[in-house]
Structure 1
Amino acid sequence: MKFNTKNGVFHLIGIKNVEKFEDYPVVIPKAVDEFRGRFEMQKDTVRSIVYEPKKGPSHDVGFFYCGALLEDKPTELPDGISYLRLEGHYAYARDTFDVTRMGEFYNNLDNWILQNKLERKDFTEELMFELYYPKEDGTMDLEVYMRIK
């Protein structure tokens, strides 16, 4: 797994979903399929998922957007597709996507941030996001982003 930091602006589009956090493993794949069905993507389109973080044990329902990364702000969007502009300083982890390793991505990135004496922004107020980069062999690389100070 590779780790780094990046200052940047991310232009993302997606369909907003509101679900119980415990249902995310089932509903996110369905939401990804819904987005694909509504938005025509090229073979090399970078997919995205933007998450509201769980703010505590009593926070049962959250929102997320399934969509894609764009190079610039879109001029027009179909109904039901939202635009998100995320800007700031981020730490990220990158490796080959494997759904069984999702917890590992987040744990390793949290540890890397601590080991490098970086500080996360207030995680209850900052969105986290994932970018899925398609590769020639049909697999994808995943980058997980967390906002840092």
Structure 2
Amino acid sequence: MECKKVKKDFKVVGMKNKGAFANYGSEVPKFAQQFLSRASEIQNHSNTEIALYEPKRDENHIEGYYYVGMIVHDALNEVPSGMEYIEISQEYATTRGRITDVGDLHLQLIKWSDEHGYQKNLGSYIIETFHPIENDLEEIEIYIPIHS
């Protein structure tokens, strides 16, 4: 697994939801399916699915906001009803691997970030992008926001 620091810009059209951090594993994929049923309404999308997560600040932070959406190529003037356009430019610690390893990928990325002295930016979203590969499998790219 390769971890690295990158500066990345994201342009996203997505739908916002709120839920308990403990339920994200089941809740976010269900909400993503609702969103995907409307993806054809989005102009100029890249076919790359994306999720943005509010970071958990501490043990008392039980619920958080998240978005599910699609990366778009350019800024949009019109966004479908119930969706939002978001632009984010941030420095991240990032890695990519099989979606079945998502928990381990997050842990290894956090460990790598700590070892390299990067501090998490709790004011910016954690981002995951999803990339189909052969045999109906999927890879995930994880971006943890860091202070430069």
Q: Which amino acid aligns with 1:131?
A: T
Q: Which amino acid aligns with 2:13?
A: I
Q: Which structure 1 residue ranges, 5 or more long, are not aligned? A: none
Question: How many Å separate the matches in 1 of 2:110 and 2:37?
Answer: 34
Check the 8 A contact 2:132/2:138 in 1, yes or no: yes
Q: Which amino acid aligns with 1:48?
A: I
Q: Which residue in the other structure is 1:142 paired with?
A: 140
Offset of residue 136 of structure 1: 4.1
Q: How does 1:77-116 map to 2 (within 5 A)?
A: 77-98=79-100, 101-115=101-115
Check the 8 A contact 1:120/1:146 in 2, yes or no: no
Structure 1 outlier segments of 4+, above 4 Å: none
Identity percentage over the alignment?
A: 26
Question: How many Å separate the matches in 1 of 2:56 and 2:120?
Answer: 14
Secondary structure of the 1:46 match is strand
Offset of residue 75 of structure 1: 2.7
Q: Which amino acid aligns with 2:94?
A: Y
Offset of residue 138 of structure 1: 2.2
Offset of residue 27 of structure 1: 1.0
What is the aligned residue count?
144
Query: Does 2:122 match 1:120?
Result: no
Q: Which structure 2 residue ranges, 5 or more long, are not aligned? A: none
Q: Which residue in the other structure is 1:12 paired with?
A: 12
TM-score, normalization: structure 1? Answer: 0.87
Offset of residue 84 of structure 1: 1.3
Question: How many Å separate the matches in 2 of 1:134 and 1:79?
Answer: 27
TM-score, normalization: structure 2? Answer: 0.87
Query: Does 2:62 match 1:63?
Result: no
Q: CA RMSD in A?
A: 1.9
Check the 8 A contact 2:102/2:140 in 1, yes or no: no
Question: How many Å separate the matches in 1 of 2:129 and 2:118?
Answer: 22
